Structure 1
Amino acid sequence: MSVAGTVAAVDLGASSGRVMLGRVGPNELSVHPVARFANNPVRTIDGLHWDILDLHRNVLAGLRAAVREAPTLRSVAVDSWAVDYALLSGTRMIANPYHYRDERTADGVRATHALVPPEQLYARNGLQLLPFNTLYQLAADRLAGALEPADSMLLIPDLITYWLTGRQVAERTNASTTGLLDQATGDWDADLITRLGLPRTLFAELVDPGSTVGPLLAGVADEIGAPARLEVVAVGSHDTASAVVAVPMTSPDCAYISSGTWSLVGVELDQPVLSEASRLANFTNEGGVDGRVRFLRNVMGLWLLSESLRTWERAGTPSDLPALLAAAAQVPGPVPVFDVDDPRFLAPGDMPARIAELCAERGLPVPRTPVEVVRWIVESLAAAYARALQQAGELSGQAIRTVHVVGGGSQNALLCQLTADRTGLPVLAGPVEATAIGNVLIQARSQGLVSGSLENLRSLVARTFTPVRYDARVVERTT
């Protein structure tokens, strides 16, 4: 293996998407975007939906740009956020997928727990209880009669992959977020699916990261100007699974924070942790690449900041986040901390007002200015990260001596510094595009451009991307 090659990563986030070109060889790794586009949900009379057709159009345009720039492209792969799906009848999508922030799932949670108690669910699937997990969404669809015309269900990256190749599969890391995989076998839990009254036919064949799904459909290849033989590969199609591949961990005593719209805070293990203590702490065991387990907690992330900015913009006072963060860093301590995972923060809306409401209820100082709102949010996120990391170490028995922050939050110097302060541990920030890099690396390995274990791939990341280091300071705080 001495020749580098180029692959294309389609990386769809909850607020934006991108198509990235990655060039990889045994001692070479680089990525750059060829297309970026917004991912804006649409609210209709029946709820909040993803505009999946617009996303697909942008994916095709991005792949067209990728092929123009790299005519010898070796493969393509898709990753996205988890849990959401489309229902299909034959080849036809029945309706636009619901957004996980839609309010319809409460009845699905109650109906599911009436059939299988939460402690039994956790013993089988090891998932954190989140009201939008796929099994709860499917329960809501069952109650509404929406499953009756459906004969298949595809998670978002599997749906895009199907439209590219004509083959329906379920990539295993993302399937692990549905709550319907058996932790013991890694396969669909047929007994649980039956107990929940879901049609077994909905669930596609499982494939592992690194598998070739198939070549592009002739029509797709023609539209993007690619050879029909261009392969589409399964990677860690849950974006966090790909991001964790690219965390430059060079020792086993590291934790990671994949910091974006959501913050995924945890450690990588060989076996799940299915204890009652883990369930009560609301930790999740999600599938990782190469059979690893991502033992983590979902923490409300940069959504709190982005939704606050949208609120101020709607009110006619657009704000500049870098300037707000710089000013927020100067707010004197101690700074109050609120619960960033309060359910009131899940849906879109007036985030500063909700934060003020929660602070008033808890007897905390109420933020009065945008600068104070930003500082309260960042301080509270750092405190949530520190709690989750402490619990991850205690519940898993894994020592944590270094924290890696990847994704968009790695560029937030205030957040990284406060995380170091609150954990008392060094924080290494970067790479920013970890999800795309992980996607690219698994493709590259499947194409023979690199080889070896995840540790070998991470060593290549560590040699290529220099992190920014933040060391803990002694500071005064309220909690």
Structure 2
Amino acid sequence: MKKVLAIDMGATSIRGVIGYIQDGKLKTETVDRFTHEIVDYEGRKRWQWDKIVNNIIGMILNHSKEISSVGIDTWGVDFGLINKEGKLIENPVSYRDIKNSLGIKYAEKYMSKEEIFLETGNQIMGMNSLFQLLTYRKLNPNKYKTIDKILFLPDLINYILTSEICSELTIASTTQMLNIKEKKWNLEMLKKFSINENIFPQIIKNKSIIGKTNSSLDERLKETNVDVISVASHDTASAVYLTKAYNDREYAFLSSGTWSLIGCCTEEAIINKEVFKSELTNEIGFDSKNMFFKNITGLYLIERLRKELKNIYKIDFNYSYITDFVTKTKPFEAYIDTDYVDFANEEISIIESMEKYLINTKQELLDDKRKYFRVIYESLVFKYKEIINEIEKIIGYSFKGIHIIGGGAKAEFLCQMIADGLNKKVLAGPYEATAIGNILAQLSVVEGKKIDVDKIIKNTYKVKEYLPKNCEDWIKQNK
């Protein structure tokens, strides 16, 4: 029986989960967890990189004698820049830094947004790696000249652990710099931006051994001998692998966390002007399957509201409290566009931003600020419905269900809202899908055989089902 360690990097916390297969079931244990945050440093919003690296190395040291391998997954788009000495030029900037969107303006001097989309298949978003890199070149021309390699966050961790420079395919597909159909860097497009093609590492697929920790750049790992495996290192790709949508075209997926990623799996990328106008995206999933979806704001708004209301009411707004309050609150009192730009600006109060939005759209302010929890949840459901309708129109058929994974799958009232609002069956769980997908990818390598993922998930986890109940109430809203 071989054990593996999944290091699942989220935007606010990072977990170490050990997993192994016993009696046809997947056994998992969260053995480490630590929080981190974005900090302001040298005029940019950055990740606490030293803290992240030190804690990850600590996880491996603590468990190196019991595990056969380790795999890293993270959020997409962010990167570190390496100089010719193999050193990190500066700590990675976060996708949340509003300066990143300046890169779109710089990019449009060379190509239009539509042209960039047609070259890459990625939704145009200011946080995408291409625009981050162009922003960095504009703001730091001298440092930019010292770049030898660009490594996306899971690739950067793997480099530290093994000394090997490479980029895993699923994370590369988030960058707006990949030819997604040919699955290689889009060198012709990059030439138009005068970006040196030599800074891009070799692309590798998931389920391969990158190296061993005894070759690490960090001396603390030199006495260990753990395989470092390329999993589907974009967290969404690892998670979607476990959904019914991965193998069944009649189901959509919703990865519900800080972000909401909602869409379906297709055999190949869908790239045309209609997709561009709908702001949908293509990214590569596990085993090179295409994920066709939209990336929108998710439970991030709930987290922001929780923090602000805690300061106002001086109580802990845990999810049990929120659930109880929301279920007793009158429905459909207000509506917001959850992707309204001010909602992502952390320098502005989320309550002030929401109330400003309501005033601008000629809606009444609510008499209890806690009611905004329900407003956010309902508005997310309306957004999901809009996106699913767009996708169904483009692919030419309707989904009969949607499979929810991530933290939002735990919220029963939200899952029922989605079933009602979309008039579709909802499947929810497993909740920790990303770490599980990471673990199963590793086990398929260390065990040296194909793993029946569907069977293991069925044996191990209870996937909850929600059927539509109150569809008429949602239809009447006409959003």
TM over 0.5: yes
Matches within 5 A, 1:194-205: 194-205=191-202
Contact 1:221 1:227 in 2 (8 A): no
From 59, 67, 76, the equivalent of 1:73 is 67
How many residues were matched structurally? 469
CA contact (8 A) 1:337 1:380 kept: yes
Instruction: Using the TM superposition, give the Cα deviation of residue 136 of structure 1 relative to its aligned residue in structure 2, in angstroms.
Output: 0.4
Contact 1:378–1:414 (CA under 8 A) maintained in structure 2: no
Kept in 2, the 8 Å contact 1:64–1:225? The answer is no
Structure 1 residue aligned with 2:330? 332
User: Is the contact made by 2:254 and 2:261 (CA closer than 8 Å) also made in structure 1?
Assistant: yes
Q: Distance in 1 between matches of 2:227 and 2:68?
A: 7
Identity, % of aligned positions:
26
- Structure 2 distance, partners of 1:399, 1:231, is 43
For residue 234 of structure 2, what is the aligned residue in structure 1? 238
Q: CA deviation at 1:225?
A: 9.0
Q: Secondary structure at the match of 1:264?
A: strand
- Give the deviation of 1:150 after TM superposition: 1.3
Give, in whole Å, the separation in 1 of the partners of 2:222 and 2:214: 12
Q: 1:161 aligns with which of 158, 175, 182?
A: 158
Please state if 1:102 is matched with 2:107: no
What per-residue deviation string (whole Å, max 9, x for no partner) do you get for residues 320-342 of structure 1? 23202211111122342211111
Q: Are residues 91 and 398 of structure 1, via their aligned partners in 2, closer, same or farther at CA, if it must alter by over 3 Å?
A: farther
Query: 2:179: which partner in 1?
Result: 182
Pairing 1:214–2:208 present: no
- Residue 26 (structure 1) shift: 8.1
- Cα 1:43–1:184 change in 2 (3 A) is same
Partner of residue 343, structure 2: 345
Q: Deviations over 1:302-351 (max 9, x none)?
A: 10011112223455734323202211111122342211111212232421
Q: Does residue 451 of structure 2 align to residue 469 of structure 1? A: no
Please give the residue correspondences for 1:302-451 in structure 2 after superposition, counting only pairs within 5 Å: 302-315=299-312, 317-321=314-318, 322-349=320-347, 350-448=349-447, 450-451=449-450
CA RMSD of aligned residues (A): 1.9
Q: 5+ residue gaps in structure 2?
A: none
How many angstroms does 1:463 deviate by?
A: 3.0
Contact in 2 for aligned 1:171/1:236 (Cα 8 Å): yes
Question: Deviation string for 1:33-79 (max 9, x for gaps)?
Answer: 10111121111241211111101111122223333xxx341211100
1:133 to 128, 133, 144: 128
Partners of 2:250 and 2:417 in 1: CA distance: 21
Name the CA distance, whole Å, in 1 between partners of 2:208 and 2:221: 23
Tell me if the contact between 2:160 and 2:216 (Cα under 8 Å) persists in the aligned partners: no
Partners of 1:198 and 1:318 in 2: CA distance? 51
Q: Normalising to structure 1: TM-score of the pair? A: 0.93
2:122 maps to 1:124: no
| Aligned mates of 2:216, 2:207 — CA distance in 1 | 24
Pair 108,189 (structure 1): closer, same or farther in 2 beyond 3 Å: same
Q: In the TM superposition, what is the alpha-carbon distance from 1:219 to its structure 2 partner? A: 5.8
Structure 2 counterpart of 1:223: 220
* Cα distance, 1:24 vs structure 2: 2.6
What CA distance in whole angstroms lies between the structure 2 residues aligned with 1:34 and 1:260? 22
CA deviations 1:127-156 (Å, max 9, x no partner) are 111111000001101112141121111111
- Amino acid corresponding to residue 322 of structure 2 in structure 1: L
**Counterpart residue type for residue 264 of structure 1:** L
Deviation at residue 450 of structure 1 after TM alignment: 4.6
- My pick for the range that moved more, 6-15 or 20-29, is 20-29
Which one-letter code corresponds to 1:131 in the other structure? G
Once residues 330 and 429 of structure 1 are traced to their aligned partners in structure 2, the CA distance between those partners, rounded to angstroms, is 23
The whole-number CA distance in structure 2 between the counterparts of 1:397 and 1:26 is: 42
Amino acid at match of 2:154: P
CA-CA distance at 1:296 after TM superposition: 0.5
Letter in 1 for 2:374: R
Matched to 1:254, the amino acid is Y
**1:217 partner SS:** helix
Separation in structure 1 between the aligned mates of residue 7 and residue 340 of structure 2, nearest angstrom: 32
Q: Is 1:257–1:265's contact at 8 Å kept on the other side of the alignment?
A: yes
Paired residue secondary structure (1:390): helix
Amino acid at match of 2:335: V
Q: Deviation of residue 9 (structure 1)?
A: 0.4
- Whichever residue aligns with residue 95 of structure 2, its letter is Y
1:238 is matched by which residue type in structure 2?
Answer: H
Moved more, 369-378 or 435-444: 369-378
- Where 1:178 maps in the other structure, the secondary structure is coil
Deviation per residue, 1:261-317 (Å, 9 max, x gap): 101101011111112111111000001111100101011011001111222345573
The runs of at least 4 aligned residues of structure 1 exceeding 6 Å deviation read: none
Distance 1:117 1:25 in 2: 53
2: CA distance, partners of 1:415 / 1:84: 30
Secondary structure, counterpart of 2:179 in structure 1: coil
Q: Secondary structure of 2:404's match?
A: strand
Pair 1:410–1:226, CA change in 2 (3 A): farther
Relative to structure 2, which stretch is displaced further, 460-469 or 185-194? 460-469
Q: Match of 2:33, as an amino acid?
A: R
1:151/1:201 contact within 8 Å kept: yes
CA distance in 1, matches of 2:456, 2:312: 46
Distance 1:352 1:76 in 2: 42
Q: Secondary structure at the match of 1:213?
A: strand
After TM superposition, list the pairs within 5 Å mapping 1:42-61 onto structure 2.
42-61=39-58
- Establish whether residue 111 from structure 1 lines up as the match of residue 78 from structure 2: no
C-alpha distance in 2 between matches for 1:248 and 1:108: 37
Q: Is 42-51 or 249-258 further displaced after alignment?
A: 249-258
The reply on whether 1:87 has 2:81 as its aligned counterpart is yes
For 1:281, the equivalent position in structure 2 comes to 278
